[in-house]
């Protein structure tokens, strides 16, 4: 029987969650250790800078080329997949996508689903949707399984349970599965293996994501290390793949550099243990594999990002997670602080298109713009540039017609007037002099409390004399 899976409710703001995360020593240690190691692994996997940069440039061109003909490629993909016997479905919203998946399960009278790791299914909150309809949807990636068992959400797109240590996993398995506690990671994994193998055997339907959908051959390519992806796509009688519309590439050869960029950037591996290329359901004379294969193509705001040539670059993303591994903000606040499916720098630029800036008003500004994310992105998404663009969209007035879903979420007429005043002050020399004179002479009247700044810092006090004054004085004394 299925059970309702509780999900962590995230009601407070990014700011509140960040404060909580920053005060959690264990969490910070878990992330710091993991991110340091992932950064080192990536660096080791690209020993030759010239090779790396050439490959990144090529990766960028391949994705830009695919996006420049996206509607045609999607039609080609659909035609080719259909020819291969894979049924293609289209969904504008996550609700539509869930309905399609549930419909397929219902048509087989299915009650048990196993799922390989899929971020798109997280977008859909598929587990909850299916649970509410009496279908058990079990995560089979070890990290995802751990997170689901604890009623949580993933905190990293590649390493979902990175916020937990072995002690926490041991206790979780003990509490939920009734096994003895152990801090031996191998043993913990073997517990997961045994539990999930039974589920692979019983499942009516397997769900997976897609890393690259190849239009030329009508192929769905999936990468993984565990074998749960292969299990989910091979053992049950039906396989349903869900993916975003931006995952299509033109030619089979295009995946050669993308694959290398993906696995080296994500985990520092030359390749993952399995590269699983699916080009059709079981043929009449074959002995295993699913009888039906479906692909659900999901929009969920992607076409909104696509409409703008600059923001379109967001859709280059191949979901390697390198931007979060290298992000000083992500490393300190962790994935859950972002409160949405995609955390870190990529989350900050893609989430607004999915849920709107009203829901994530702090996303564009939760960055120091240090540029590390853009420097490591394997497909050269200019993340800092896109963050700045989203900051502008975030404060546009309705009259300025924001280009992003719920743009203008942080628009404030008062703040706008204040900046107008500041601009006037700085563009009129006479007024500026008068202001400087007043600010230095009346410095004792400077406010003692200036918003969040003074929560952690002493209040700034203007200097006794302005730089202008000091320079003038210096020159009058005959200084050089």
Partner 1 sequence: MSARSNILNKLRAGLAGTAPRPDDFDDKLVTEPWLYAPEDRILRLRTLMEAVHTEVHQLASADWPAKVQQLLDSRNLGNLLYAPGTDHGQQLAQHWQSAGATQDLRAYDRPIEDWKEELFWQVDASLTGSAGGIAATGSLVLWPDRHEPRLMSLLPPLHIALLKASEIEDNLYAMMQRQHWSAGLPTNLLLVSGPSKTADIEQVLAYGAHGPKELVVLILEDA
Among positions 284-313, residues that touch partner 1 (CB under 8 A) are: 285-289, 297, 299, 303, 306-308, 312
Options 68, 368, 397, 426; binder of partner 1; rule CB under 8 A: 68
- Single out the segment in contact with partner 1 by CB under 8 A; choices: 104-112, 140-148, 358-366, 431-439: 140-148
Residues 316-335 that bind partner 1 (CB under 8 A): none
5 scored as a contact of partner 1 (CB under 8 A): no
Nearer to partner 1, 126 or 142 (CB): 142
Looking at residues 9 to 48 of the shown chain, list those that interact with partner 1 (rule: CB under 8 A): 30, 33-34, 37-38, 48
Nearest residue (CB) to partner 1, 237 versus 371: 237
Instruction: Look at residues 19, 5, 50, 46 and name the one whose alpha carbon lies nearest to residue 268.
Output: 46
Shortest Cβ 51–partner 1 spacing (Å): 5
Using CB under 8 A, count the residues that bind partner 1: 97
Q: What is the footprint of partner 1 within residues 226-245 (CB under 8 A)? A: 226-228, 230-231, 234-235, 245
Q: Which of 18, 21, 55, 130 binds partner 1 (CB under 8 A)?
A: 55
Minimum distance of partner 1 from residue 360's CB (angstroms): 22
* Shorter beta-carbon distance to partner 1: residue 159 or 357: 159
- The 244-263 site mask, x for binding partner 1 (CB under 8 A), equals -x----xxxxx-xx-xx---
Q: Which of 193, 417, 428, 433 binds partner 1 (CB under 8 A)?
A: 193
Q: 289: alpha, beta or left, given left = phi > 0 and alpha = psi -120 to 50? A: left
* From 13-21, 89-97, 397-405, 421-429, span contacting partner 1 (CB under 8 A): 89-97
Q: Which of 276, 274, 280 is nearest to 218 (CA)?
A: 280
Shortest Å, Cβ 61 to partner 1: 6
Q: Of 16 and 83, which CB lies nearer to partner 1 in the complex structure?
A: 83
Nearer to partner 1, 8 or 37 (CB): 37
Interface positions, 266-285, toward partner 1 (CB under 8 A): 267, 270-283, 285
Minimal distance in Å, beta carbon 29 to partner 1?
A: 11
**Rg, the chain, Cα only:** 26
Binds partner 1 by CB under 8 A, chosen from 126, 142, 323, 350? 142
CB of 336 to partner 1, least distance (A): 17
Task: Please list every residue from 168 through 187 that binds partner 1, using CB under 8 A.
Answer: 169, 185-186
Near partner 1 by CB under 8 A: residue from 162, 381, 383, 390: 162
Closer residue to partner 1, CB minimum distance, 18 or 379:
379
Smallest gap, in angstroms, from Cβ of residue 374 to partner 1? Answer: 21
């Amino acid at each position: 029987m299925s059970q309702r899976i509780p999900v962590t409710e995230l009601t407070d703001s990014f700011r509140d969650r960040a404060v909580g995360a920053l005060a959690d020593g264990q969490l910070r240690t878990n992330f710091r250790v993991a991110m340091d190691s992932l950064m080192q692994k990536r660096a080791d996997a690209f020993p030759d800078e010239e090779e790396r940069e050439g490959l990144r440039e090529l990766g960028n061109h391949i994705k830009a080329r695919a996006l420049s003909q996206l509607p045609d490629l999607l039609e080609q993909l659909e035609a080719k997949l259909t020819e291969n016997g894979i049924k293609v479905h289209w969904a504008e919203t996550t609700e539509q996508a869930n309905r399609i998946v549930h419909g397929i399960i219902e048509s087989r009278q299915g009650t048990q689903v196993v799922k390989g790791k899929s971020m798109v299914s997280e977008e859909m909150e598929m587990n909850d949707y299916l649970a509410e309809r009496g279908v058990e949807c079990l995560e089979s990636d070890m990290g995802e399984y751990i997170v689901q068992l604890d009623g949580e959400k993933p905190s990293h797109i590649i390493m979902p349970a990175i916020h937990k240590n072995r002690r926490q996993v041991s206790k979780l398995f003990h509490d939920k599965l009734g096994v003895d506690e152990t801090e031996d990671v191998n043993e913990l994994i073997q517990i997961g293996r045994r539990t999930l193998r039974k589920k692979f055997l019983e499942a009516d339907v397997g769900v997976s994501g897609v890393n690259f959908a190849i239009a030329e051959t009508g192929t769905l390519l999936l990468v993984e290390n565990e074998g749960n992806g292969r299990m989910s796509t091979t053992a049950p009688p039906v396989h349903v793949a869900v993916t975003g519309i931006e995952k299509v590439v033109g030619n089979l050869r295009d995946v050669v550099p993308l694959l290398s960029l993906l696995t080296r950037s994500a985990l520092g591996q030359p390749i993952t243990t399995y590269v699983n290329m699916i080009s059709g359901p079981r043929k009449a004379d074959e002995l295993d594999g699913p009888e039906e294969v479906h692909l659900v193509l999901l929009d969920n705001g992607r076409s909104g990002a696509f409409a703008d040539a600059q923001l379109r670059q967001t859709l280059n993303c191949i979901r390697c997670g390198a931007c979060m591994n290298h992000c000083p903000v992500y490393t300190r606040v962790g994935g859950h602080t972002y409160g949405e499916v995609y955390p870190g720098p990529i989350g900050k630029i893609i989430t607004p298109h999915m849920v709107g800036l009203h829901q994530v008003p702090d996303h564009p500004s939760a960055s120091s713009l240090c540029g590390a994310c853009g420097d490591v992105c394997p497909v050269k998404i200019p993340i800092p540039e896109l963050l700045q663009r989203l900051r502008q969209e975030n404060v546009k007035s309705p009259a300025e017609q924001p280009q992003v879903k719920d743009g203008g979420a942080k628009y404030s007429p008062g703040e706008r007037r204040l900046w107008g005043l500041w601009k006037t002050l700085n563009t009129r020399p006479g007024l500026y002099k008068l202001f400087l004179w007043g600010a230095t002479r009346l410095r004792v009247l400077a406010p003692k409390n200036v918003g969040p700044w003074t929560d952690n810092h002493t209040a700034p006090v203007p200097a006794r004399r302005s730089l202008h004054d000091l320079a003038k004085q210096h020159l009058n004394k005959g200084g050089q």
